[in-house]
Amino acid sequence: MKKRNITIKAVLAVTACTACVAVNAQKQYPQQEPMTPGMSEYWTPQPKIVTPGDIKTNSAPSDAIVLFDGKDLSAWENTKGEPAQWTVHDGVFTVNKKAGDIQTKQKFNNYQLHIEWCVPENITGTNQARGNSGVFMQGMYEIQILDCYNNETYVNGQTGSVYKQTPPLANAMRKPGEWNVYDIIYTAPVFKEDGTYRVPPRVTVIQNGIVLQNNTTILGTTEYIGFPKIVKHGAGPIILQSHGDPSEPISFRNIWLREL
Ligand code: MG
């Protein structure tokens, strides 16, 4: 008899539960709209229109800040703020080793930089003493320029290295006498109150169409002696290095920058 009561209770419970489901099935909840292609597309703001440089004349894009167009060094000065004394000739300019480094008058944060450089066909010297120069991001961080065509040196000091930090991913040198092209994308650091990096600087370097640095983290200043230092700074110039090596001086042309 007891067993039979339990069975009846179970049947009633199942019946009640079935009724509950029936009620819920009748209740109307909001339904999610079916996705359409347009739901994941947006149209504004439209990217600004930039006219690319002419591939034949190698001109700068329409929104670039032209830092050297073959005529003069009016965008440049020496590190004391005096007129740049490097030599302009034949649409290029050549390092004047007696005159020291030059820098842009304008200061920058994030940018895309295009710069072309050439070591003389008759270049002499070995290791770091062969067409040594460099381009400094925000005046602090050197991307090495050196003739590494059949010229070995320490790898974190070769062409396209973040100097004394990160070697390039490849050696993409053209022969002496031929022009090399650097396209550099640089992201400035963000600092904490205490002067250390909240977000370190980063750099991508492409030489002659070949990636040498792929969004590389810059660890600090690029020291010749010692390890990187973290020095708080703001916007800074592009600096071109006048290196004291005894080899024949290198030349530059077609320099422009797009702020990002
Ligand atoms: Mg150098």
- For 190-240, how does the pLDDT look when each residue is reduced to its tens digit (9 = 90+)? 999 999 999 999 999 999 999 999 999 999 999 999 999 999 999 999 999
Q: What is the dihedral sign for C-alpha 241, 137, 238, 179? A: positive
Rounded Cα gap, residues 105 and 75, in angstroms = 6
Taking residue 82's Cβ as centre, other Cβ atoms within 10 Å add up to: 10
Which residue type occupies 189? P
C-alpha 126 to ligand 1 mean position (Å): 14
First to last CA, the chain: 86
Please tell me the pTM assigned to this model: 0.87
Ligand 1 centroid–CA 163 distance in Å is: 7
Distance 191 CA to ligand 1 centre (A): 26
Mean pLDDT (whole number) for 32-57: 94
Element containing residue 141 per DSSP (H, E): strand 141-145
Token reading at 165: 């930090």
- The answer to whether the Cα torsion of 73, 79, 144, 161 is positive or negative is negative
Q: How far is the CA of 197 from the centre of ligand 1 (A)?
A: 24
Q: State pLDDT tens for residues 163-190.
A: 999 999 999 999 999 999 999 999 999 9
CA 137 – ligand 1 centroid, Å: 13
Distance of CA 242 from the midpoint of ligand 1 (Å): 8
